[in-house]
Each structure stands twice: as structure tokens, then as C-alpha cells.
Structure 1
Amino acid sequence: MIPKAELHCHIEGAAAPELVLRQAEKYGADVSAFIRDGAYHWHDFTSFLKAYDGAAGLFRTPEDYALLSETYLCDLAGQGAIYAEFFTSPDHASRVGLSARSYTEGLGEGMRRARERTGIEARMIVTGVRHVGVEAVERAAQFAAGCGHALVTGFGMAGDERMGHPRDFARAFDIAREAGLGITVHAGEFGGPDSIEAALDALRPSRIGHGVRAIEKPALVERLSAEGVVLEVCPVSNVVLGVFPGFASHPFPALYAAGCKVTLNSDDPPHFHTSLGHEYEVASRHFGLDDAALDVITHTALEAAFVDEPTRSALLARIGQHVAL
């Protein structure tokens, strides 16, 4: 099995329907509006957000979140993943009355359990939500910078790209950067190439979440390649959400051929009926990547991972063992 690594997944969005159903039973909640026949159901971006928030609202204690991260990471390890990063959202925790620290400690406990069970390494990226506002994003950055949790190694920003300019959030990213955290930001999904350029100029990330619409501006593709900015690409998500009409028009192969550092990721996997393993299958079947190229994709992800160098070296050695076989 090809070793895999993931850099872009929202942990609340990774909650499998069967786990959410168990949580609904625990809390006496009705989830029939968005889970039917054991699967998520939604029809547009608004209903997707309602399903996402409805599921997230059923994780209310540190132990709930420990169960979520352990379940997801163990499943990921079963797909051949040796490393994973996921986005955390203190704003979601606050909605159910859970402190950011308790939320993070719960997720960390689940990560510890998953590592003991499977050997998978994992880290957390604290995210601010762009459309909630500048102050909320800065609070998230301050928490990330000051929480002291060993598994919190990155900071990012998700949310509606149409809201605000990246420069509005520069202070939040400076706070995180000064604390030694890795920096990533969502851009170039529903926003066009200008969204990516603005993020690069104002926030100086080493990685861009999605970034696929860079393909619309050749000079930007050249810049991304030259500067070595890593793109956290989520092909199935892009097609399901209508960013591209199908895999035949998806720019992953063109970005890869242009020398951009691209990785494969699942975003909110059960909502899009995907998995990290399926994303690798899509890259093989639709983008023409052979096993050697897929190993390069995993290598790129590990080189871009927000981890200490001894951990990175150990993870890269695991890929080397696979290639040598």
C-alpha cells in the first residue's frame, strides 16, 4: 500500500455519519435533516454548512472530541496514511460551551490513542474563520500561539474568501509566525487567482489551502513554482462543490507538470463521499499518476508538514522503505 500523508482536513468535517448517529443518540438529537441512509445529504453550499454545523454540534465534551480524532486517525491509518494534519476550530467548541483549551486537549488525547494503536503521527492547525471577523481570527491566533500544546504546530484561516482582504488579518498571522507556528491559508477555491496573490503578499504562508484557481493566471503558477509554495489540493471536494465540472477539467495535472508542489487531501471526507485513499485513486485513475509519482506527492506533503525535523526524517524514512521494496 502506498504511504499517504494529509495536510488539509477539517476535523469536525471528518466526523463519519455512523459516529454522528451515535452522538445523536447520546444527546437525544434528531439528525434526519442531514443524515439519511447512513450518509450525509445536502444539496448546495448553504445546506452543506448546516449539515457540517449540525454534526459538529454533537461533539460537546473533551471525550467526544477525543473519540472524533481517534476514530478519524485510525481510519486514516487503515488507508495507508502515516501522517495527518487537521484543522481545528475553537469557534465550534465555544458554540457548545467548551473552552479552546479543553477542546484542544480532547483532540490531543484522541491523537495520542490513535498513535498508540496504529503508529500514525498527527498534528493540529488552529484556524480562524475569515467571515467571523478580524477579532475572532486574532483570538484564534493568540490561542494557537499561547496554548503550549505540543501537537498544535500550525495556524491557518478558512471561511468565505469574499469577506475582507488578507491584509486585514496580517496581525493574526504575525502573532502565529512569531510563535514559531507553520502558516497556511485557504485561498483560490471559490476566490480566483487574485485571492491567492493577496494571501501570498499579505500573509506570507508556506502553504495554500486549495489554490487550484491559480491555473487561471500563468504568471501566478510560475510564482508558486518558483517560491515553492505548497498547494493543499482537494480534488473530489473541488468537483463536488462545483469549482470544476469534473476531473477531466481539474488543474491538478497541469499544476504538477508546471512544477508546483501539490499534495492530495480530503477536506471534509464523508460530506463529499471521499477519503484520502480515494483521493490517491483519483490521482492515479484520472490524473495519470503512477506509484512513483504518488510517492513524490506524499514526500512533498511530509517536507511541507508542520513538524520538527527528527519527526520529519522518521516519516520520510518510512516512504523510503516503501520505495525500496
Structure 2
Amino acid sequence: MERVRDVSELPKAHLHLHFTGSMRPGTVLELADKYGVRLPEALSDALISGEPPQLRATDERGWFRFQRLYDAARSCLRQPEDIQRLVREAAEEDLKDGSGWLEIQVDPTSYAPRLGGLIPALEIILDAVETTSRDTGLGMRVLVAANRMKHPLDARTLARLAVRYADRGVIGFGLSNDERRGMARDFDRAFAIARDGGLLSAPHGGELTGPASVRDCLDDLEANRIGHGVRAAEDPRLLKRLADRGVTCEVCPASNVALGVYEKPQDVPLRTLFEAGVPLALGADDPLLFGSRLAAQYDIARRHHSFTDAELAELARQSVRGSAAPEDVKDRLLAGIDRWLTGPADGSGRTADTA
């Protein structure tokens, strides 16, 4: 039997992690108790049992149920120290999974009412990221995301704010929530503001709707990366376009199955995307609700799609190359990936320590 290396020791970048969705279950329960928040029974039961809630967002009712649980968890974040705790714990979890670079995605308008307004909310988040990065050694930056359920004018305001804080750790601008609502072109001006300010364009697309939503992200928002993008596998010409342009798809296998985009892990078209030459960055999306973090996504690629260690190493390289990390950080992570791959694996499947 071939000895395989521990994917949690494989250096990698994490490019698709939502803010509230990054929380530890125990943290949500503690904060809910602290503030007297009554969590939906489906959420509290899942957090206590350790079993993710039953979710299926392939129709609007299912998405509403998912969003309700997410909003309930977010309502437990009420003070700057809660934000600091979330960011620190997210970093700790990523480090355990081999991440050397994390771009955490957040819509600060969702936290503004309890944190003193939009600007204070973003500053609290950025301060927490800066402090955590310094204390843990994990490279961290922020991708500010607009909500496609809200008016495009709100997105423009958010884009201007994101550009204003580009020197404080904001590296990109995204567009999240149900992609069946709000056409990409409605947000083209917001993304133009972000791009003109030097931010990368990373909207969601190709998850709940098909290849057309990926094309819209490319045509209307000039996407550098696509959040999810898996449905592009249904259109060979679109795959070639993504590959030729080097647009990274932030693929979240566990999330795709949990939300009903695909029935089983083996149905997620990782192989199709990978073999078409589309750059991929595996992500955990919302581990609070989906039950698995970053390393588990690489394990899915190995167990359900027969990715070899060499192919897993290439996935990790693609995540690093698709990131906004400084070149010296990229070089360090890429060198670490090479060491992971070339070093011997011991009988337990863990990479032998050659330091």
C-alpha cells in the first residue's frame, strides 16, 4: 500500500472562508449563552452534537433556511473582543490544517449595527486580523464582499470603503449570497471602483446556478477569481476560457455537497476542472455549518477523486499562486510544498521530519 503524506502538513493558502462561518461551534454556544441569544434548534442541536445541520439550498426556501442559521450565529458577535476571538480561532484552525496564508471574506455591513457603524466595524475586523497575523505568524488579509441581495448602490459604498483600507489589509472585493438573486452586471460599477483601487475581483458564481453565472462574472465583473465556479465544468468552452486566462476557482467540495449542489463528494467535478487546466484553490467556505475545515477538502480530493500526493501538492501550489500574498510569502510556501512532496512519508502517513 502506498504511503501517503498528511494533508494537514501540506503548506497551502486558504482563499474561501467566510467570517461568521469560520467560527468554532463551542464559541457560538458560549457567546449565545453570554448574550442570551436563543439559537434556532437546528443550529444549537448541530453545534452540541458536532453533526452539521441538514441543509439543502437548491431552492430559495432551502437557501433561506441556511441563511437563517448563519444570521443566528452572526448575531452572537456583539463586541470587539468577540471579533478578535473569531479571527484568532480561525487562524489557529487554519494553522493546524497547514495554511500559511488566509484571506477571510466579510461583509462589514452585517456587523456594523452592533459595532458602532460601517467604518468602525471594518476597522475592528482589520485590527483583529493584523494583531492575529502578528501573534500567530499566519499571513492574513481581508476580502470585503458585497451582498447581492442588497441594492447595487450599497455595493458601491462598500467598494469605496474597501479601496480606502487597501493599505490596512483589504486585498479584494467580492459578491456573495444567493447568486440566483441580483445579476452580476448590476454590480459592475462597484467592481470597477474596486479594480481601479487596486483590489482583485473575486465574486461568487457557478454554484447555485450554472455556467452562465461564471461567464457573467468574467464579462461583467472582470473576475480574477471565482468563488466556487464548479458549474463551469458543464461548459468545455468556459473551462478553456478559465484555464487560458488563469482565473482561479475557489472550490469548496464539502460545501457543495452540504448545500445540495452535488449529491456526493465524488460528484464534485474536481477532476474535470483540474484536468482542464483551471487553477483551483480548495476552501472550507463555512465550516461552522458544513462541519469540515481546510485540510478535509484536500482529503476529499484524495479519497473521492484519487488525487495523488503530487496532484495534491499542485492543488496547494495553485492556491498559493492564486492568492494575494506577497511574493516572498508565496516563495516560502511553494518551497514548503516541494519539501512536503519530496520528503519521505512514515508508516502513519505523516511526512517525516527532515528539519
Q: Please give the range of the TM-score, normalised by the shorter of the 2 chains.
A: over 0.9
Letter in 2 for 1:3: P
Distance in 2 between the 1:14 and 1:292 partners?
28
1:97 Cα offset (Å) = 4.7
1:158 Cα offset (Å) = 0.6
Distance in 2 between the 1:319 and 1:46 partners?
40
Aligned length: 325
1:184 corresponds in structure 2 to 202
Higher relative contact order (CA 8 A, sep 6+): 2
1:71 paired with 2:89, answer: yes
1:316 Cα offset (Å) = 2.7
5+ long unaligned stretches in structure 1: none
1:149 Cα offset (Å) = 4.6
The correspondence for 1:111, drawn from 122, 129, 140, is 129
Distance in 2 between the 1:122 and 1:116 partners?
9
Distance in 1 between the 2:136 and 2:80 partners?
21
1:28 paired with 2:28, answer: no
1:108 Cα offset (Å) = 3.0
1:41 corresponds in structure 2 to 53
Distance in 2 between the 1:148 and 1:6 partners?
19
1:236 corresponds in structure 2 to 254
5+ long unaligned stretches in structure 2: 1-8, 56-61, 344-355
Please say if residues 66 and 108 of structure 1, whose CA atoms lie closer than 8 Å, have aligned partners that are also in contact: no
- Give secondary structure in 1 for the equivalent of 2:149: helix
> Structure 1 residues 315, 150: closer, same or farther in 2, change over 3 A?
farther
1:151 corresponds in structure 2 to 169
- Give secondary structure in 2 for the equivalent of 1:76: helix
1:309 paired with 2:318, answer: no
Runs of 4+ residues deviating >6 angstroms:
none
1:283 corresponds in structure 2 to 301
Please say if residues 101 and 147 of structure 1, whose CA atoms lie closer than 8 Å, have aligned partners that are also in contact: no
- Give secondary structure in 2 for the equivalent of 1:242: coil
Quick check: 92-101 or 238-247, which moved more?
Answer: 92-101
The correspondence for 1:298, drawn from 304, 313, 316, is 316
1:89 paired with 2:107, answer: yes
> Structure 1 residues 268, 299: closer, same or farther in 2, change over 3 A?
same
Please say if residues 64 and 106 of structure 1, whose CA atoms lie closer than 8 Å, have aligned partners that are also in contact: no
1:276 Cα offset (Å) = 0.6
Letter in 1 for 2:20: E
Distance in 2 between the 1:137 and 1:42 partners?
31
1:5 corresponds in structure 2 to 13
Aligned-pair RMSD on alpha carbons? 1.8
Distance in 1 between the 2:63 and 2:263 partners?
16
1:50 corresponds in structure 2 to 68
Letter in 2 for 1:19: T
- Give secondary structure in 1 for the equivalent of 2:16: coil
Please say if residues 62 and 102 of structure 1, whose CA atoms lie closer than 8 Å, have aligned partners that are also in contact: no
Please say if residues 68 and 107 of structure 1, whose CA atoms lie closer than 8 Å, have aligned partners that are also in contact: no
1:222 paired with 2:240, answer: yes
- Give secondary structure in 2 for the equivalent of 1:305: coil
Distance in 2 between the 1:18 and 1:294 partners?
31
After superposition, give the CA deviation of every residue in 1:102-121 in whole Å (9 maximum; x if it has no partner).
Answer: 32333334334433443211
Distance in 2 between the 1:100 and 1:307 partners?
26
After superposition, give the CA deviation of every residue in 1:130-166 in whole Å (9 maximum; x if it has no partner).
Answer: 1112111111111101124522111111122122322
1:130 corresponds in structure 2 to 148
2:23 corresponds in structure 1 to 15
Distance in 1 between the 2:144 and 2:92 partners?
21
Quick check: 24-33 or 263-272, which moved more?
Answer: 24-33
The correspondence for 1:164, drawn from 160, 182, 191, is 182
Distance in 2 between the 1:97 and 1:76 partners?
26
- Give secondary structure in 1 for the equivalent of 2:198: coil
Distance in 1 between the 2:105 and 2:155 partners?
14
Distance in 1 between the 2:49 and 2:128 partners?
24
Distance in 2 between the 1:251 and 1:42 partners?
22
What percentage of residue pairs aligned between the two structures are identical?
34
Counterpart mapping for 1:241-252 below 5 A: 241-252=259-270
Please say if residues 31 and 76 of structure 2, whose CA atoms lie closer than 8 Å, have aligned partners that are also in contact: yes
